Amino acid sequence: MSAPTVSDHYSPTETDYPAGTYRVVGTGDEAVILLKVGDSDGQRVTTGKIVSVSCDDFGRFEPAENPDGTRSLGDSVRSSAEMIYWSFRVFGQELIAHPLLALVAVAVILVGNFDGAIVPLPDSVYSFLVIIGALGLAYIGSGRL
């Protein structure tokens, strides 16, 4: 068997290690560090379990498929849609949590969009205001305040 590299996936055979899929997260001269990322059926799990396997014991592991590749298209689409929903929801909640800052950012964007109709400024300043307002809105909505 070739030497394992970080991000390779292996499953134990005939060992005392629990069945499942493990991702290599570190290698050394005496041991290989593995993170359990799949159950015995090859489905993705998030255990946080890290195992140090001696190089001798690692010889009883065999290459395995990445459990992230076993998700169906429907599961992937559903997961992406949920992530988008929660991202927008959290963004909106952060804007609501900081209404004054959010209003200032929106006002800066509006001043930049109405080229001189609200405040007469040099032309190059309007684009700058839109960028600064959008970045401010993104910063406020990101929850970093």
pLDDT digits 0-9 by tens, 59-102:
889 999 888 776 677 877 888 899 999 999 999 999 999 999 99
Task: Take residue 58 and report the two structure tokens written for it.
Answer: 């690692």
pLDDT 10s digits, 93-127: 999 999 999 999 999 999 998 877 777 888 889 99
- The residues, any chain, with a CB within 8 Å of residue 79's CB and separated by 6 or more, are 71
Q: Say what the pLDDT of residue 1 is.
A: 59
Q: What is the mean pLDDT of residues 126-140?
A: 95
Q: Are 126 and 115 in contact (CB under 8 A)?
A: yes
More confident residue, 121 or 142: 142
